[in-house]
A and B are shown apart, each in its own frame.
Chain A
Amino acid sequence: MSNYLKYGYLEVKDVVSFPSLKMITKHPVVVSECIQEIPCNPCVTSCQFQAISMEGINGIPVINFEKCSGCGKCVSICPGLALFLIGIKGKKGLVTLPFEMLPVPLKGEKVYLLDRKGKEIGQGDVLRVIFPDKSTKSAVITVSFDNIELIKSVRNIRSLK
């Protein structure tokens, strides 16, 4: 029995694949934490760069890291909130994640970085906020932080307030 169905979260080792460090130094690249065969494919159809493919509608998204431009469109459309961008800019790690709670943090705000279990694993700065548009209504937030290692674990944030 796989543990993620017992506890409801993935370990880093369960994530199908990560792009290389070199790749994400150029620009952020999407990683998928959608690991079950469910009838869903908006990530595939929303990508202008054909970076995501799937076998039929029930397949698991497969990412061609080379083709991904890091635009983040799939992050905001994914109904399962299971896509994230990871990147490295200078000496900082970057994670872009969908966010559907209030308050939406503001650019420049300091936030707690949370892992897949909601545990605090550090602090970071909100680098960019794309406010929800009429159709998706999920905000997309990019945080930056010092410990580059954390790009594989930061999957949520919480306001310091």
Chain B
Amino acid sequence: MREINIHPILQFSHGKELKFTFDGKTMKAYEGETVAMALYRSGIDIFSESPKLHRPRGMFCAIGKCSSCMMRVNGIPNVRTCILPVREEMVVEKHEGFGKLPDYIEKFAEPFEINKEVAIIGSGPAGLSAAITFKEFGIKALIIEENPQLGGQLIKQTHKFFGSEKEKAGTRGFEIARDLIKNIENSSIDYITNSTAFAIDENKIGVFRNNQYMKIYTKYLLIATGAAEKMIPFPGNDIPGVFGAGAAQTLMNVFGIKPGRSVLMIGAGNVGLIVSYQLLQAGIEVKAVVEAMPTIGGYFVHAAKLRRFGVPILTSTTIKEVRGNLRVEKAITISIDKKFKEIPGTEIEWNVDTVCLSTGLIPSVNLLAQAGCKLKYVTSLGGFVPVRNKDFQTTNKNIFVAGDVTGIEEASTAILEGHIAALAILEKMGLKTKKLKIESIKNLNNLRGSPFSKKIIEGLKEVECE
């Protein structure tokens, strides 16, 4: 019922049909689809209830970073259904409160142990590019990825990327991802998907995968866990139908599902502008994009693409409230003055069933914090980021970082950072990579030559150590 049937850029093919139950009702899913996606496709908006006030909850991030889609699956509460692939006969239920463990739990299988010289957590462009670099030097790294697919955020970018030929400019993001993934699959690089790394203890990583606990012993670790979308405070921000813009992208560009009929986008940075345009491509109405700042933050050309289709972009405007019973029914925006104070009487009411937030990303540094790597708060990089040197080595000398987890930037920089971090690790292993590494660091600095990167360069000065 929420199927995208035709799309100007993408073709969707579905796996074989599976059946599972949701609160006792039989539901249909396609093989390869996650539980949350299958439910949403069939028109289900409400996945859980808030523990105290029993307010309905839908999904928010759709990439396994938040807790909005947690349900009871085969008796186990608090399972992130947005990244859990449907299996035949699965039993899925909404749970109340914090969720109770069942009386009887099937014993988890004995943990098994793996030894690896290098492990990479996260298979976005940063992680994949690092794995390919290791391979080129004859080292087989292990990639650990919690989503069912490799590729991170890159698999859902349907627009053409900027850059030069070297960065495959003019190629669409998902095609860059497809090439990286092909390279990984064809070269017998080891990877495990549906696998969440949840703890790091010296040279051990704890990973959970399909009820199986794994201990991965490794000498070097590269953390490339990406970023999560920010939630902002306003009344009704928890009503089902309020999504991260990236979630809307996952729904439509990865799974071919319409996130809604009519959308209000909050935030006119690149993510907000690009996702709005992609919503139009999926045949969804975008009522407006609102932006609290007095000017558009994303690239002008992305804004111009939207305006040409008549989508207004309202600057100096913010979201005041979202209303709706079981799903978003209305959104109210309001103009703000130079001091970001609301101007009474300037409210606009929008009849929308979906509100997308594209108000920034936060680096996913949880594992780094837990591993004791030093972090620092840098506003222009998106929040807490790891202190590191030019080699992307953290204060824990065997842990390296790359990509959005080091500060919010782009896939093109993530790819280079993964490459540089891998070269630095290889250098520590005694391989001759120094020249290549220095050259790549130069390329990275070149990519940051535009006025848009000024703030990032300032921010980097605060976290880069010797």
Q: Does B302 contact A (CB under 8 A)?
A: yes
Within 8 Å by CB of B162, from A40, A104, A118, lies: A40
Which among A30-38, A62-70, A86-94 touches the partner chain?
A: A30-38
Q: Does A107 contact B (CB under 8 A)?
A: no
- Please give me the residue from chain B that is nearest to A79 by CB atom: B160
Q: Which residues of B contact A109 (CB under 8 A)?
A: none
Evaluate contact between B304 and A136: CB separation under 8 angstroms. Answer: no
Q: Does A100 contact B (CB under 8 A)?
A: yes
> Shortest Cβ distance from A4 into chain B, in angstroms?
6
Within 8 Å by CB of A156, from B164, B281, B283, B309, lies: B309
B residues contacting the other copy or chain, number (CB 8 A): 44
Evaluate contact between B450 and A102: CB separation under 8 angstroms. Answer: no
Which among B310-318, B379-387, B434-442 touches the partner chain?
A: B310-318
Q: Does B73 contact A (CB under 8 A)?
A: no
- In the docked arrangement, what's the CA distance between A81 and B307, Å? 12
Q: Which residues of B contact A34 (CB under 8 A)?
A: 301
Evaluate contact between B300 and A57: CB separation under 8 angstroms. Answer: no
Q: Does A26 contact B (CB under 8 A)?
A: no
> Shortest Cβ distance from B208 into chain A, in angstroms?
39
Within 8 Å by CB of B169, from A35, A42, A100, A156, lies: A42
- In the docked arrangement, what's the CA distance between A114 and B309, Å? 8
- In the docked arrangement, what's the CA distance between A135 and B446, Å? 26
Which among A6-14, A16-24, A122-130, A140-148 touches the partner chain?
A: A6-14
Q: Does A5 contact B (CB under 8 A)?
A: yes
Evaluate contact between B163 and A40: CB separation under 8 angstroms. Answer: yes
Known: A6-B296, A38-B299, A137-B172. A114 touches B308 (CB 8 A): yes
Q: Does A160 contact B (CB under 8 A)?
A: no
Within 8 Å by CB of B307, from A8, A38, A41, A137, lies: A8
Within 8 Å by CB of B310, from A33, A118, A137, lies: A118
- In the docked arrangement, what's the CA distance between A83 and B170, Å? 13
Q: Which residues of B contact A4 (CB under 8 A)?
A: 300
Within 8 Å by CB of B300, from A1, A35, A100, A104, lies: A35
Within 8 Å by CB of B8, from A6, A9, A137, lies: A137
A residues contacting the other copy or chain, number (CB 8 A): 45
- In the docked arrangement, what's the CA distance between A12 and B268, Å? 23
A-facing residues in B254-304 (Cβ within 8 Å): 268, 280-281, 283, 294-296, 299-304
B305-342: CB near A (< 8 Å → 1, else 0) gives 11111110101000000000000000000000000000
Evaluate contact between A5 and B309: CB separation under 8 angstroms. Answer: no
> Shortest Cβ distance from A120 into chain B, in angstroms?
9
Q: Does B161 contact A (CB under 8 A)?
A: yes
Q: Does B449 contact A (CB under 8 A)?
A: yes
Q: Which residues of A contact B171 (CB under 8 A)?
A: 135
> Shortest Cβ distance from B163 into chain A, in angstroms?
6
- In the docked arrangement, what's the CA distance between A142 and B208, Å? 55
Known: A57-B446, A117-B307. A101 touches B296 (CB 8 A): no
Q: Does B24 contact A (CB under 8 A)?
A: no
Give A contacts to B, CB under 8 Å: 1, 4-10, 33-42, 45-46, 56-58, 77-82, 100-102, 104, 114, 116-119, 132, 135-138, 155-156
8 residue pairs, one from A and one from B, having the closest CB atoms: A118-B310, A80-B301, A8-B303, A40-B162, A79-B160, A156-B308, A5-B295, A42-B170
Given contact pairs A8-B296, A38-B301, A78-B160, enumerate 14 new A-B contacts (beta carbons under 8 Å): A8-B268, A33-B301, A38-B450, A39-B450, A45-B164, A80-B299, A80-B305, A82-B304, A100-B9, A102-B7, A118-B309, A135-B170, A136-B160, A138-B160
Sample 10 A-B pairs with CB under 8 A, ordered by A number: A38-B301, A78-B160, A79-B159, A80-B304, A81-B304, A114-B309, A116-B304, A118-B307, A135-B170, A156-B309
